[in-house]
Amino acid sequence: MEEINWIRVVAGLLLVLFLPGYTLIQAMFPRRGELDEEFDTLYRVTLGMAMSICVVILIGFVLGNPSLGNAPDWDGWSDGDKGYFQTFFVTASLATATLLFFGIGWFRGAYPWMANVHPSLARVPPGLRIESELAVAGKFIPAELIELQGLKHDRDNTKRKLKETETRKRIGSSMMKKYYEKNEKTLLADLADIDSRMAELDQALNRPGEGEGLSADVVLEESIDPGGESDDGE
């Protein structure tokens, strides 16, 4: 019984102080790095706790409204002589809000791990939505094009991180400058890798057609003999 009580306490604390707000933040900011490039997870956790308190207060105001009248008398669940501000209705409201926020967050691509549950649950964050929707619609899209779109997004994020790192390096202490210098080198290396891969994909997607590029020179050399005459003998 004590173990069950502890489970109820932990579940209640999560439902009141964390889950509603965290899923709300995920729904509002589905893409990683939107809140902060370095401490995104920390921001999501702290803001999730703060927003959970706000959600609980709003639900409490609604359920505690006297105009709603008395709650139905469900034996063991609710007391018909009281209003809706009871444990069952508060728990049900918080659970419903959490599931609603989770569903919105999933739709906006905040939970890429859902693809491991079932491929049909895979959702792409905003920015890559067009390619994913076309693919779902049955339109053929080269894998290179989808990868290139993702690399463009990564490149923009890396450049933004690099700019923020340079700013923080200028205003930071000597110890922080060393940290940001190391971070800057890592970002520059990542940017070089992204540019290299984008160049490869661009070359693969834009192969020279017949009569163009180096392949045309090879065809032209084969069709003309060393004496300057063509294969047709003209």
Q: What pLDDT, on a 0 to 100 scale, did the predictor assign at position 152? A: 83
- pLDDT at residue number 216: 41
Residues in the chain: 234
Contact 111, 105 (CB under 8 A): yes
Can you tell me the distance from the alpha carbon of 170 to that of 100, in angstroms, rounded to the nearest whole number?
Answer: 43
pLDDT in tens, 75-101: 878 887 788 888 889 999 999 999 999
What's residue 197's pLDDT?
85
User: What is the pTM (predicted TM-score) of this model?
Assistant: 0.58
pLDDT of 90 reads 92
Residues of the chain scoring pLDDT < 70: 1-3, 124-146, 207-234
